[in-house]
Structure 1
Amino acid sequence: MTSPDTKPTVFIWFRNDLRVTDNQALSAACEHAKTVNANIQAVYIVTPAQWQAHDVGSRQLDFIRRHLQLVARALASLGIELTVWQCQHFADIPALWQRQLSSRNIVAIYAGREPELNEIRRDQAMLNHGLPLQLTNEHCLLAPGSVLTKSGEMYRVFTPFFRRWREIAQQYPVVPLGPPAPVGPAIADVNIESLLDTINRYFLPLIKSDNHYQWPAGEGEAQRRLQHFVFTAVSDYQQQRDFPALDGTSSLSPYLTLGVLSPRQCFAALLARFPAALADDTSPVRCWLSELVWREFYRHLLVAFSALSMGGNFNPLADGIVWRNHPQEFSAWCEGRTGYPIVDAAMRQLNNTGWMHNRLRMVVASFLSKHLLIDWRWGERYFRQQLLDGDLAANNGGWQWSAGTGCDAQPWFRIFNPISQSEKFDADGSFIRHWLPELRHWPLAQLHQPVPEKSLFTGDYPAPIVEHSSARQRALSALAVLKKA
């Protein structure tokens, strides 16, 4: 009989895949351990300095902490112990694993592949050190590099990518995995409580104490929201998604970002309710399907064009833009003090909840990069620090789209008018009044307008930091370097 000290061990390394259902790496690790009669061990590695370098925000760290505790309990019910290690940087991780390798018989380390450049380099360093890392592709339904043009290149325009993605996706069944079978008796509660204390000890010093708004955590909550959306709201998504006062979006992005919910689970739920969604251009759910595939598009781009992970403009002509980068105006934008009610209400929503409605993300991004001519990277970083669903691929893609510097981006000469956006998408002013209570007494005719001078009803609300028409002309001049020859 194999002694406990020499019995092989298979590791499942959790990263942005904080779930036990439809977790390909976890299922593969369990199957491998069963095949070779090995122990199975789960691990999560805390990397504070790397998170700081990546601008991971306090709210997201708290969301990770709460989900990691739930994953620990779910694994314990399967007889799998989760341990937590800490090192400061990704560069320290191979040595951390090698120390473990020298003290135990590790035959495999399973983990989900990630698309960001530093994460790719981290995993390559593991392989270069001879560590037995086995990577699964599950952050997208179709892996990066699998949806290419006829000449074998990555698409640079979304619509043909979407068309080809759908053709390929129809060739395979979209069936999520269930949770793995228990590998042993459940772990005692006393050991779980000790682990939860360890998780808190690592995370709580990194988390600000002013995070009063807490997004509900858990795989169960993510699944509940997914099923509710697919069965009650997805058909109306195209009609309601642009109105921030309505509950018209799926609100799934925070769960997708941390892998609490997998993209395969989203597509499977959609196809279970609307089997023709992939093939039917007239399907009522095509709009939400396209949003899911936009997420895949941005992740494929991140792998194909590594400079995106390092803050590079996708369009090299954008390197010629002369940004104003006015610090006081940037602070006013961050704090919701621009004098444009829809912009300020959106920033208040972000600062208070860690989330912002998608339509408003475009409005505030356009305002910063075009009205104020502040480098989109300043806004991208601030979003990353504040957003619960902060994700490099989507955040970078959205900001470069809004600034006109990205792949298949909004044209450089298209400049959102925040006044007309407000009038169109918050017509009764309910969103503005909710987040700017100091404006509740303003007449509706004035609620969408910046007020250039103090009047009887402006109170302490600031005057606009820029005038729309002049800002538009200034932006057209500065962004003209993007004009194609």
Structure 2
Amino acid sequence: MKDKYVLFWHRRDLRITDNVGLHNALTSGYKVIPLFIFDSDILDKLPEDDARVTFIHQELEKINHTLKKQDASIAVKHGKPVEVIKELINSFSVVAVYTNRDYEPYASQRDEEIATLLKDHDVEFKTFKDQVIFEQDDIVKDDGDPYVVYTPYSKKWLATLKEEDYKSVDCEFHSENYANESFDFPSLEDIGFKESNIKVLPYTITDQRIDNYEDTRNFPAIEGTSRLSPHLRFGTISVRQCVQNGLESENNTFLKELVWREFFMQILWHFPKSVTNNFRSKYDGIQWRNNEEEFKAWCEGKTGYPLVDAGMRELNKSGYMHNRVRMLTGSFLCKHLLIDWTWGEAYFAKKLLDFDLAQNVGNWQWVAGTGCDASPYFRIFNPTTQIKKFDKDHIYIKKWVPDYQEFSYPKPIVEHKFARERCLEKYKSGINS
């Protein structure tokens, strides 16, 4: 009689520790075949040296190396998920597919297709909450409606939180329940990619970094942020561990950033149209200028505003941009240049190592003033005074824009006072009453 198996499908959880879905698979009573699919529907849109694909591949190699010590391996496949899973359930006697939930519109559509396939083959599809503490309708208003303002959402999130919500789950104790199967591990070239020169840096969540987070996080020249975002995005660390670290600090600023992450995730889940449409439709009448030459100058870090340009050059060179500078570059694009936030969102989506659809859309609509709980449209950052506040010694600027005092450095693309007045006029006239 053929052995029966469950597949555990890794997606945004590239770890074999503290993983809810994996824990449930390993305690299911069946041998577990771990699986990762390089989704061709996603990869076909990416450049061949995409740094995120390199990072995923490296993390999968680490997982495979660990599994080999237990005479197991991870099945790493390339193709359309529905076709890959169909092939596996035909090759093995699979009784169930376990995975952790993903809340993006594409993921929901994909999982519906997978669920239909598995039902037709009499295979269970079991999904679990893992990449967030609270999901979907876990934190809603008393009348059941979703929160669209951060502060009341965060208050309820914190008031609801119990130790069981962030307690880690044990996977190692059950590691003998992996299937003794050996799968060929594909190279990057096998899936049509090559190694990127851009690297994901290690995260830092020491007590000192978290305790000082509020005081240091706004200064791009200081190593004051955690570098956690790409690791949370791809699940090389569990959100439960991050919350535990945040709760151990007397300063809750770090913890509240994790709540912002979940706020935007539930917004995207409840309002999937916000991916491409203004959350607040009253701003649909704004007449964006959408000047392509000015957009190109912004992308290349050649606006003539050193702090804006430093941020864009850091992004292009490293795949990162400091959080404070993200706000400035985003505001500059939308309000100084009057370019539609969706242009900036798409550029960041291509470049950011930590690209997460919910966070990217939520934050871009925040700086544009068109989103839920957004910065008001009349709040327009002055890109010169921002230097005095956050990089007064020009350390960050000198690192990324060494030419900022040279004759070759471009003149400001637009004068601040003029741009501010033009923005206010365009927004006022574009608001649908």
- Asked whether the two chains share a fold, i.e. TM above 0.5, the reply is yes
Contact 2:49 2:193 survives alignment (8 Å): no
Paired letter, 2:403: E
Structure 1 outlier segments of 4+, above 6 Å: 54-57, 184-188
CA contact (8 A) 1:238 1:287 kept: yes
Given the alignment, which residue of 188, 207, 217 partners 1:241? 217
Deviation for aligned residue 1:66: 1.1
Indicate yes or no: 2:17 matched with 1:21.
Answer: yes
- 104, 107, 110: which one pairs with 2:95? 107
Task: Return closer, same or farther for 1:184/1:126 CA change in 2, 3 Å cut-off.
Answer: closer
- Counterpart for residue 193 of structure 2: 206
Structure 1 residues 482 and 241, CA gap change in structure 2 (3 angstroms): farther
- Is it true that 1:141 corresponds to 2:170 in the alignment? no
Aligned twin of 1:41: 33
The alpha-carbon distance between structure 1 residues 306 and 74, as it changes in their structure 2 partners (threshold 3 A), is same
Which letter maps to 1:475? C
Structure 1 portions without partners, runs of 5+: 275-282, 443-457
Identity %: 36
Equivalent residues of 1:254, 1:388 under 8 A apart: yes
Tell me the TM-score normalised to structure 1 length. 0.83
- Report how far residue 389 of structure 1 moved: 0.4
Deviation digits for residues 112-145 of structure 1 (CA, Å, limit 9, x no counterpart): 1001011011111222231421111111111221
Contact 2:32 2:179 in 1 (8 A): no
Q: Secondary structure of 1:16's match?
A: coil
* Superposed displacement of residue 173, structure 1: 5.0
1:341 equivalent in alignment to 2:337: no
Letter in 2 for 1:212: N
1:23 counterpart letter in structure 2: N
Closer/same/farther in 2, CA of residues 57 and 305 from structure 1, 3 Å limit: farther
SS at match of 1:70: helix
2:288 to 310, 323, 330: 323
Q: How does 1:51-90 map to 2 (within 5 A)?
A: 51-53=43-45, 58-87=50-79
Q: Which amino acid aligns with 1:21?
A: T
Which of the residues 171, 174, 182 maps onto 2:175?
Answer: 182
3-state SS of paired residue (1:45): strand
Map Cα deviations across residues 369-399 of structure 1 (whole Å, 9 max, x no partner): 1100111111111111111101101111110
* Partner secondary structure for residue 373 of structure 1: coil
Residues 345, 432 of structure 1: 8 Å contact kept: yes
Question: Normalising by structure 2, what TM-score?
Answer: 0.93
Q: Which position in structure 2 is the counterpart of 1:446?
A: none
Output the aligned Cα RMSD: 2.2
Which residue number in structure 1 is paired with residue 116 of structure 2?
128
Alignment deviations for residues 268-311 of structure 1 (CA, whole Å, 9 cap, x no partner): 1233x34xxxxxxxx4x2111111100010001111111123x1
Q: Does 2:161 match 1:165?
A: no
Q: How many residues align?
A: 428
1:434 aligned residue:
399
Preserved contact between residue 76 and residue 186 of structure 1 (Cα < 8 Å): no
Output aligned runs, 1:382-393, within 5 Å: 382-393=347-358
Shift of 1:418: 0.5
Structure 2 stretches of 5 or more lacking a match?
Answer: none
Q: The residue matched to 2:98 in structure 1 has which SS? A: strand
* SS across alignment from 2:127: strand
Within the alignment, does 1:353 sit opposite 2:301 as a pair?
no
Residue 428 to residue 329, structure 1, CA distance change in 2 (3 Å): same
How far residue 363 of structure 1 moved from its aligned partner, in angstroms, is: 0.2
Rounded Cα–Cα distance in structure 1 between residues aligned with 2:130 and 2:190: 27
CA distance in 1, matches of 2:111, 2:41: 18
**Alpha-carbon displacement from aligned partner over 1:166-191 (angstroms, at most 9, x marks no partner):** 11113745211233333269979xx6
